[in-house]
């Protein structure tokens, strides 16, 4: 099973909390309703931050710019390669028959 990112876990918890708070906002007195509404707005902002972070990660992976490499510390991205081997045979010293 694939491991979920922190952002997706936070979004799931926000959805759960919003589901619990929505009915309370509708059936309580105006002051409590206002407080619950403020909490729901705050949760919505946190959800937006998580979504932007997830989108930034996806943009970094798909970007072709040098600064937008998938991971800055990625060993594969920083690997150096040797020059390709040549097919030319090495020159050997030959004796001249005089």
Residue pLDDT tens, the chain, 98 long: 467 788 888 889 999 998 888 888 888 788 888 888 899 999 999 999 988 888 887 887 777 555 544 455 555 556 666 777 667 666 676 666 65
Q: How far apart are CA 74 and CA 84, in angstroms?
A: 23
| pTM confidence score | 0.54
Indicate the SS3 state at residue 8: helix
Q: What is the pLDDT of residue 7?
A: 83
Q: How confident is the model at residue 6, as a pLDDT?
A: 83
Q: pLDDT value at position 79?
A: 62
Question: Considering only CA atoms, which of 38, 59, 47 is closest in space to residue 7?
Answer: 47
Distance between CA 92 and CA 18 in Å, rounded? 80
């Amino acid at each position: 099973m694939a491991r979920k990112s922190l952002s997706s876990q936070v979004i799931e918890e926000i959805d759960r909390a919003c589901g619990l708070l929505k009915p309370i906002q509708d059936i309580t007195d105006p002051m409590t309703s206002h407080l619950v509404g403020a909490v729901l707005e705050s949760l919505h902002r946190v959800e937006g931050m998580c979504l932007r972070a997830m989108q930034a990660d996806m943009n970094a992976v798909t970007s072709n710019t040098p600064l937008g490499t998938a991971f800055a510390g990625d060993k594969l991205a920083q690997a150096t390669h040797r020059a390709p081997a040549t097919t030319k045979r090495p020159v050997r010293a030959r004796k001249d028959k005089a």
